[in-house]
Structure 1
Amino acid sequence: MPSPSVPRAVSPRSTRRQELIKVAGQLFHELAFDAVTTEMIGARAGVTGPALYRHFPSKQALLIAVLEDPLNELLANARDTAAEVTDPRTALEAMIDYHVRRTLESVPSTLVFLKNEHNVPENERHRMRRMMRLYAEEWSGLVTRLRPDLSDAQTRVLTHAVFSMINSVPQFNSGLDPAVVGSTIRTAAINALLIPAATDSA
């Protein structure tokens, strides 16, 4: 049995699925759900319509995958990091780094969800929101340890504000190199979460 540290080979089918999810996420963010066709998704991804249906039974199923897959990966990464990294600051910085990197690679699923929530079945909406809450709780747990000066409510507000800041990056075309954007937003996120606000000296 191979060691868990040895990465498994990614099959062409898995790679194609990931590419379809990335492309569909871009289109669902750019256009209304009803305006996006499977032909448009296939054309941008370089596959035919029938090939797309080999991965997803419907356009709605693809939308759910666009939302679910990235959330699963973010949540799994956060849980693994929190479990394996004992220093809370190091763990939080690792979570920030991963979230920023994923945001620069593809449109955040949160933005796609906000725009297309009405096209997602109710039970799936509840499940997506629960995953988002669980992910936020992983961050909040670390922030609570690092910022005992904050109340629980303040920690939640601050965490969600930082999420919004990071997730908004794809909507702004700065013209900067992605590495510069990533470094800038990482620093801003760390400072926002860890540096206490200045108090009046009077």
Structure 2
Amino acid sequence: MAVPTRNRRAEILDAAARLFAARGFHGVTIEDIGGAVGVSGPALYRHFSGKDALLAEMLLDISSRLRGSAAAVVTTAATPTEMLDALLNVQITFAIEQPALITVHDRELGNVPEQERRQIRRLQRLYVEEWVTVLAELHPGTPAARLRAATHAVFGLLNSTPHSAGELPSQAMRPLLHTMARAALHASVNTH
């Protein structure tokens, strides 16, 4: 029985993320990716036009999903405090479940074609602005630039999971990251 195309694409993207994180974009061939999912390298061209298109889709997809999750949180949570907790949970889930994507994004965004790289950056800016909007409601009078800087710093803290993955089980890591991120945000807006 053939694997549906959408599932096969997701399988290819997951395998490519792990390989790119381990060996770098230039250290991985189409054949390596195909081998990781049990098909010939050339068979991947049925799903992606090339390795750079695969990388672009991988990073566009996660940027779009994070942005969409943040927008959903902001429109459904009842209070700014609930919104912030939900935003933290979105980012923590991503950080714990997708450390390979964090590594790939940090190291390989420059290998994404320019048009897609601009789209990724735009989605990321929109994601950050969802956080800034919520933080501004919680801390009126704090300059947006400070809230934006604090958001990026908290992402750095939460996205450190590629370096700590496996040290603690997920059920212990989640509350640790949540507490640390909350404390960092509190300190950043209350220390001038």
Is this a same-fold pair by TM over 0.5? yes
1:124 and 2:106 aligned: no
Whether the 8 Å CA contact 1:108–1:167 is kept in 2: the answer is: no
Worse-superposed segment, 167-176 or 140-149: 167-176
Partner Cα separation in structure 2 for residue 39 and residue 141 of structure 1: 44
Partner Cα separation in structure 1 for residue 77 and residue 35 of structure 2: 42
**Amino acid across the alignment from 1:175:** E
> What TM-score results when the alignment is normalised by the length of structure 2?
0.87
Q: Which has the higher helix share?
A: 2
1:76 and 2:32 aligned: no
Partner Cα separation in structure 2 for residue 195 and residue 34 of structure 1: 40
Report matched runs for 1:152-167 at 5 Å: 152-167=144-159
Worse-superposed segment, 51-60 or 101-110: 101-110
Q: Label 1:138 to 1:37 Cα distance change in 2 as closer, same or farther (>3 A).
A: same
Whether the 8 Å CA contact 1:22–1:106 is kept in 2: the answer is: no
The corresponding residue for 2:160 is 168
Unaligned runs of at least 5 residues, structure 1: 1-10
Secondary structure, in 3 states, of the residue corresponding to 2:35?
helix
Partner Cα separation in structure 2 for residue 126 and residue 156 of structure 1: 19
The corresponding residue for 1:97 is 89
Report matched runs for 1:53-68 at 5 Å: 53-68=45-60
Secondary structure, in 3 states, of the residue corresponding to 1:175?
coil
Partner Cα separation in structure 2 for residue 29 and residue 186 of structure 1: 25
Whether the 8 Å CA contact 1:71–1:109 is kept in 2: the answer is: no
> What TM-score results when the alignment is normalised by the length of structure 1?
0.83
Whether the 8 Å CA contact 2:131–2:151 is kept in 1: the answer is: yes
**Amino acid across the alignment from 1:25:** A
Q: Label 1:108 to 1:100 Cα distance change in 2 as closer, same or farther (>3 A).
A: farther
1:18 and 2:47 aligned: no
Identity %: 36
The corresponding residue for 1:41 is 33
Partner Cα separation in structure 1 for residue 190 and residue 61 of structure 2: 39
The corresponding residue for 2:183 is 191
